[in-house]
Amino acid sequence: MIILVTGGCGFIGSNFIRYLLKRVGNVEILNLDKQTYAGIGGNLEHMGFFEDSHYKFIYGDICDKRLIEKIFNEFKPDYVFNFAAESHVDRSITDSSDFVKTNVLGTLVLLECARRFNVKRFVQIGTDEVYGSLKEDSSSSTEDDKLNPRSPYSASKASADILALSYYHTYSIPVIVTRSANNYGAYQYPEKLLPLFITNLIDKKKVPLMWSSENPGLNVRDWLNVEDNCRAIWFIAVNGESGEIYNIPGKNEKKNIEITKMLLDYFGVDENMIEKVPHRLGHDFRYSISGEKLMKLGFEYEHLNLDYEIKKLCEWYENNQNWWRKLKDGE
């Protein structure tokens, strides 16, 4: 089986490739990535995959129509997993143009080639943020709920999801959309909450928690271990139905202040290490997605003990300082 993974040098994409090579087997992996700041080739180099005979790296942009056509024509991938995306909300607020280009137009280029070359499965990797902000007592979002993206990033991802599904309904392309909760785990670029806070605390620096008198770090996120996410994505690709959307929750909803206190406790410091920073523009209060559809499909989690997993994660960043220090230093 030939599998094209776009954005395979990023956090989730690189973990997905590791999962395929270690736990699936009998696969040939093509990793297409343009290696932006968060798509670090060192992810896979550190994982030891560059020497794997079943792995091939291709440098390039999913918006490059000529390159994508060449890849599909030469390798004829059976499965396509589109992880490639601009994904940091704060950056999308500053400049949304790259988000629209990569997340929407890049997806279109891939879908067109998938249509022409008759792929067996096209999996569009989405996010829970497309459902918008929920209140504290609101029910979890289901796959049938109305989309309500509230940032340029989530709007671009919602657009890509809709575009992908349109190719199923119009051209019968075997498309599936997955929407995951907040991922955490090894090899995450140190700008998201967990890796940023952990690496700051290792360096005895304060952690920048979004805060106001009305909302002192109370925003809620659902935390999903990246290994469970990768397993779920593959499980859905094999067992799911074309034209369907599948949510992948983390089953660990926590207020940001609760996550912060867990990290402070691990490092043996108090709340004086919190730097209270203003909330970002349009800061969504809560994300929560229902996993009932995924459970009915038969998926089982392996990493639900968040206390244990965060301790493991802190230890990983402590033991891999050469890796993340180069990123923080811009090398």
SS3 state at 190: coil
Residues tagged active-site: 128-129, 153
Angle subtended at Cα 102 by Cα 98 and Cα 104, rounded to the nearest 5 degrees: 110
Cβ atoms of residues 274 and 206 within 8 Å: yes
The helix (H) or strand (E) run that includes residue 254 is: strand 253-255
Q: Which tokens hold the place of 157?
A: 């991802």
Query: Residue with structure tokens 């074309």?
Result: 242
**C-alpha span between 103 and 31 (Å, rounded):** 17
Amino acid at the residue 16: F
Q: Which tokens hold the place of 139?
A: 């029910």
Counting every residue, how long is the chain?
Answer: 331
SS3 state at 55: strand
Q: Which tokens hold the place of 325?
A: 């220090």
**C-alpha span between 133 and 121 (Å, rounded):** 31
Cβ atoms of residues 312 and 320 within 8 Å: no
Residue 121 forms beta bridges with which residues? 79
The helix (H) or strand (E) run that includes residue 32 is: strand 28-33
**C-alpha span between 303 and 283 (Å, rounded):** 28
The helix (H) or strand (E) run that includes residue 200 is: helix 193-202
Cβ atoms of residues 16 and 81 within 8 Å: yes
**C-alpha span between 118 and 236 (Å, rounded):** 19
